[in-house]
Amino acid sequence: MADPDFANARVTIVGLGLMGGSLAAALSINHACGSIVGVARRRSTLATARALRFIDEGTTDLAEGVSAADLVIVCTPVNDIIEKLGALGPLVKPGCVVMDVGSTKSAICAAMETMPEHVQPLGAHPMCGKETSGLTMAEPSLYQDKIFVLTPLPRTSERTVALGHALIAAVGARPLVLDPARHDRLVAIISHLPYLMAVALVNAADSLAGRPGERPSAKDPLAWTMAASGFRDTSRVAGGSIPMMMDILVTNREPVLHSLIEAREQIDRLVDCLEAADFEALEALLQAARHRRTEVFR
């Protein structure tokens, strides 16, 4: 962009769901940039965003929304991001910076690499979110104190990276620069694996307990009545968006598979301890997990 000062930037946010809406809200409340344009599929979404004063302008037309932008941030599911990156090149002005907030980076950055030379691409992924989605769930504090990963491409200029840092500072997040492959390995461990473990937990409980109203059998649906905060908190992420998670799992398949295999081996170790009544070894596994979690989340 011609003016590296983020305070004067015209920012277009494509997708006004939880992530895009929260980003717009944070930028607006902090008066962080020159103007905010929202692009959404439904006019009702734009009307709500305008009423909440999250955006200054809104349109359902992608070309119209990005034509004058200094910075475009695509805040849609991963496969839709990849599709939109293919369309954005001819629509944006020379020097425009194109970012995203997708949960996987290798596939997105590969798509960014194919964008025309007049575009400045910068992959990004804020480490925040909720199991709920949509503009009505947006909150300006969503990014506050959260890690916000940047994954620059070899062609990404230092000026563009600086703009990314300015955006991150404006929403109160903390920057972390990674290469796309390393990012994807790490999020497979700390984000995608927990989702799949929560899915396995709920499905295992459903298999063992049965569903309320079912005829009594070896299963006991009273388990669902007894389920309290421990089960609710551990299984929370299983309530997330399935289309969004399918995009993530498809585009990050190998790192997720590797993490899931390791998790299966850890479960097998617990099974072995219980089958052998080796409670000393079992306690050692519990202590190791407790120590590491306490160390990380003091």
The pLDDT tens digits of the residues spanning 75-103 come to: 999 999 999 999 999 999 999 999 999 99
Q: Which residues contact 119 (CB under 8 A, 6 or more apart)?
A: 88, 89, 92, 96, 98
Average pLDDT over residues 253-262: 98
d(CA 49, CA 51): 5
Tell me which residue of 164, 192, 120 sits closest to 23, measured CA to CA.
Answer: 164
The answer to whether residue 293 scores a pLDDT higher than 70 is: yes
Q: What is the pLDDT of residue 131?
A: 76
What architecture does CATH give domain 6-178? 3-Layer(aba) Sandwich (3.40)
Provide the percentage of residues in the chain whose pLDDT is more than 70: 96
The answer to whether residue 251 scores a pLDDT higher than 80 is: yes
Q: What is the pLDDT of residue 133?
A: 78
Q: What is the pLDDT of residue 213?
A: 55
Q: What is the pLDDT of residue 98?
A: 98
Q: What is the pLDDT of residue 136?
A: 87
Average pLDDT over residues 114-137: 92
The answer to whether residue 1 scores a pLDDT higher than 50 is: no
Residue 127 confidence class, pLDDT cut points 50, 70, 90: very high
DSSP one-letter string for the chain? -----GGG-EEEEE--SHHHHHHHHHHHHTT-SSEEEEE-S-HHHHHHHHHTTS-SEEES-HHHHHTT-SEEEE-S-HHHHHHHHHHHGGGSPTT-EEEE--S--HHHHHHHHTS-TTSEEEEEEES---S--SGGG--TTTTTT-EEEEEE-TT--HHHHHHHHHHHHHTT-EEEE--HHHHHHHHIIIIIHHHHHHHHHHHHHHHHH--TTSPPSSS-THHHHH--HHHHHHHGGGGS-HHHHHHHHHHTHHHHHHHHHHHHHHHHHHHHHHHTT-HHHHHHHHHHHHHHHHHH--
Q: What is the pLDDT of residue 212?
A: 56
Average pLDDT over residues 99-116: 98
Q: What is the CA radius of gyration of the chain?
A: 22
Q: Across-strand partners of 121?
A: 98
The answer to whether residue 3 scores a pLDDT higher than 50 is: no
Provide the percentage of residues in the chain whose pLDDT is more than 90: 88
The answer to whether residue 205 scores a pLDDT higher than 70 is: yes
Q: Kindly report the average pLDDT of the chain as a whole number.
A: 94
d(CA 84, CA 39): 12
d(CA 181, CA 104): 9
d(CA 191, CA 237): 10
Q: What is the pLDDT of residue 9?
A: 97
The answer to whether residue 199 scores a pLDDT higher than 80 is: yes
Strands 10-14 and 35-39: parallel
Domain layout of the chain by residue ranges: 6-178, 183-296
Residue 130 confidence class, pLDDT cut points 50, 70, 90: confident
Q: Range with the lowest mean pLDDT among 111-115, 134-138, 165-169, 270-274?
A: 134-138
Nearest-10 Cα torsion for 141, 164, 30, 132:
-30
> Which CATH number is 183-296's, of 1.10.3660.10, 3.30.365.10, 1.20.120.450, 3.40.50.880?
1.10.3660.10
Chain segment 29-50, per-residue pLDDT in tens: 999 999 999 999 999 999 999 9
Q: What is the pLDDT of residue 153?
A: 98
Tell me which residue of 190, 197, 149 sits closest to 293, measured CA to CA.
Answer: 190
Average pLDDT over residues 93-116: 98
